[in-house]
Amino acid sequence: MFIPKAHYSHLVGLLEVLDDFSGRVDAAKIADELNLELDDLLPVIEVAEILGFLKVESGDVLLTSDGLNFLSDGIRSRKNLLREKLLNLDIFKKLIDFINKKEDKVVTKEELLIFLAEEIHDIDSELAFKWIIEWGRHGLLIRYDSKEDKIKLY
């Protein structure tokens, strides 16, 4: 099951650099432009591709129409578009269902960690928790109260 394993800000930066190169450029050139190793850039490219903001062809990275729309939108519209994209990922579908099944529509961090350990086997649940919270917040899907360690839907 796919979970985004890159920071949201890195996604935005990647798309902006790609736009600077007229929407098509070699992945290695992007890494050079961002002062990153290609291996550090690949998870960001993977997230952007799965979300439909870019596609990869023969080592070139191409901005899609959704990627262009994302870049041209304001912050609120970006968050709404990201929300739509995240809602297509199985992990977020299952997470929303999991929270909705709770009587008070709230889960604790511990409950979410258990849920993630059961759902995702190729990543540590603490790390998965971090990514879910980051992307869920940016996509206006969830709210996380770190003082009480409680998660609820946005």
User: Where residue 20 sits, what CATH number does that domain have?
Assistant: 1.10.10.10
pLDDT, mean over the chain: 94
Helix (H) or strand (E) holding 91: helix 90-100
Number of domains making up the chain: 2
Whole-number pLDDT of residue 27:
92
**Ranges under pLDDT 50 in the chain:** none
- Same domain for 44 and 81, yes or no, is no
> What tokens does 106 get?
């709230």
- Same domain for 66 and 118, yes or no, is no
Provide the residue range defining the domain that includes 51.
8-71
Whole-number pLDDT of residue 100:
97
CB burial of 43-63 (b: ≥16 within 10 Å; e: otherwise) equals ebbebbbebbbbeeeeeebeb
- Same domain for 59 and 90, yes or no, is no
66 HSE (CA, 13 A, CB side)? 15
In a domain, 147, yes or no: yes
Boundary residue ending a domain (24, 48, 71)? 71
- Same domain for 101 and 148, yes or no, is yes
> pLDDT digits over 94-138, tens only?
999 999 999 999 999 999 999 999 998 888 999 999 999 999 999
In a domain, 58, yes or no: yes
Q: Which has the closest alpha carbon to 8: 48, 42, 61, 66?
A: 48
Q: Which has the closest alpha carbon to 68: 29, 107, 20, 105?
A: 20
- Same domain for 80 and 127, yes or no, is yes
- Same domain for 64 and 94, yes or no, is no
Give this prediction's pTM: 0.92
